[in-house]
Chain A
Amino acid sequence: MKKKSMMRTASGGFDRQAWTTVVIWLTLVSVALIFLAPLVYLVAASVKTMEDFHRYSFFPPIDRMTLSNFASLFSQMDFGRFLLNSLFVTCTTVTLQLLMASLGGYALACYRFRGQQGLMLLLLVSMMIPAPVMLAPLYELLFHLRLIDTHAGLIVPGLVNVLGVFLFRQAMLNIPMDLVHAGRVDGAGEFGIYWHVALPVVRPTIGAFTLIAFMGSWNSFLWPQVVLQSNELFTLPIALNQLVGLYNDDYGALMAGTLLAVLPVVLLFFLLQREFISGLTEGAVKG
């Protein structure tokens, strides 16, 4: 509607531009539909009965939809436990990463100290190291620490998030030093200034980093696959990978499980959407 009125009022040159916009818009919508189709399929597949699975490409008629796939996840396999395992491991990891990354970022942004430049360089280089290089020695280390097949073994080696330190440093560079000095004059301790002055200022970064860290830990596969052996400790990625092999043709349950596994990330995204986009790109665009 809006576009038509634009074209009517416009001169000849503007007309052509309006048409270009329409063509571009239609292209974007077609690509968007292709991108969304797998997601729609996922939702549809999780509410189809086994006999309807191949009959309808997407959703069956509403009276044929079922929630039995979700029910069988909890009755036939220990889906609730895997969900809780994932939530526990991820929430612990995110909280600790958040604390360490923001403290580190604060130290790098608001202080001048000996060894600062060297440390920054070291961190920057370490971001280019592919994690699988450490896989074998980490396994060895955890074996000696007796942390193989424990949740602690999943959490502790994954606590360092160098990207997080940089995100927080970038955001905290914008904190006016006067604010920090004022805090000191008021008699606040260094940690108090970090907690009461710095952290509230970088709330968007906290939001963005929470989502990034959550997704990283939630989707982690290779390390849990190496560390975990007991079924009852499995996180969702490991458990669902097993489900693919075990219930070879119970596609409905498999898709229901996948949908439930993705849901927490989606919810968190909607909660933190605004912070996420700005926080994610801030470092890259400015740096």
Chain B
Amino acid sequence: MKLNAPKVAPYVFLTPFAVIFSVFIAWPLFRSLLLSFTITSGPGAQVFVGTANYRFLLQDPDFWIAVRNTFTFVLFSLLIQVPLSLGLALFLNRKGLWMRNTLRFAFFSPHLMGLVFASILFTLLFAPRFGLVNEGLHTITFGRWSMDTRWLSEARRVMPALVMVNLWLYVGYSMIYFLAALQGVDPQLYEAARVDGAGPLARFLNVTLPGIRHVVIFVVVISTIGGFQLFELPWLLLSNTPGPEKSGLTIVMYLYQNGFVSGDLGYASAIGWTLLFLVFCVSALQLKLSGALRKENMA
């Protein structure tokens, strides 16, 4: 009995996790694939319809609006978030910087608010006439920026508003990762590069970037997976609507509306699997591209 304990123990320890995982992740995942081939009105009433949900999805203009909005959001968030947080991390990593910990906390602190509560705060900050965002832009442009600018009720400004709040929440968060990665780069490599006469840019490209490469990839991939699930931010900012001209409609919002406002769980599952497919393709592409990058570096 005693002898066998180390053999049995890992299975016992993993059991609670495995049970919950099977019942509430693995089974629903499989079940949603089945559901996606049915039309349902509420749980319990379903009719098999083959691939009709997917065919309807592909020709529904709303779905394509949602896909376009989601991709735009992910793309612009990444393009700004990664360089900005890496830049802040590089600056913070300088030797002898005054108040480093205070500054680090200042950048990170928005993250503590969380997406939901930040969205509620920003409904006020984006308000025309008295909102802080307009007030700030009005001040730094010496009055050229209009205080009456409507962020959330004019279609073309909704996406910039979403990206802005997202940056506010996540720039400091990814900065923490980059900062930790930078501190892990061997200082001797910088010395060697300096001796070889490499300037700051060459040192960044040849020492820093390869050294933190896998953390950059990690941040890009988790931000992408997170970005594809965008829902709370537009839903709360735009008072539980897709916004003017559906400018804030995202894939998950489309899923939520079809599954839980209209009540078709089958169609919602088809949207879910389409989302899963998109996420896997994009992540795989990112990982492949970054792998290709490494071969170039090695050569």
Contacts and interface: CB of A to CB of B under 8 A. Distances in A.
Given A35-B106, A107-B13, A244 B136 contact: no
Contact of A190 (B6, B14, B98, B112): B6
A190 B5 contact: yes
Nearest to A3: B98
Nearest to B273: A133
> For this complex, into which size category does the number of interface residues on chain A fall?
35 or more
A223 to B, nearest CB: 11
B98 A25 contact: yes
A156 B20 contact: yes
B69 to A, nearest CB: 15
Interface residues of B, number: 89
Interface string B111-148: 01111111011111100011010011000000000000
Secondary structure at the B interface, as helix, strand, loop or mixed, is helix
Interface stretch (B155-163, B252-260, B288-296): B252-260
Contacts, number: 257
Interface of B: 5-7, 9-14, 16-17, 20-21, 23-25, 27-29, 31-32, 35, 43-44, 88, 91-92, 94, 96-98, 103, 106-107, 109-110, 112-118, 120-125, 129-130, 132, 135-136, 168, 171-172, 176-177, 180-181, 184, 214-215, 218, 225, 228-229, 231-232, 236, 239-240, 252, 255-256, 259-260, 265-266, 268-269, 272-273, 275-276, 279-280, 283
Interface of A: 2-3, 6, 21, 24-25, 27-29, 31-32, 34-39, 41-42, 45, 53-54, 57, 99-101, 103-104, 106-108, 111, 113, 116, 119, 126, 128-141, 143-144, 156-157, 159-160, 165, 184, 189-191, 194, 215, 218-219, 221-222, 225-226, 237, 240-241, 244-245, 251, 254-255, 258, 261-262, 265-266, 269, 277, 280-281, 284-285, 287
Given A133-B272, A136-B266, 5 more contacts: A6-B96, A160-B20, A165-B17, A258-B117, A287-B214
- Closest CB pairs A-B (n = 7): A219-B114, A281-B180, A133-B272, A190-B9, A32-B106, A137-B31, A107-B10
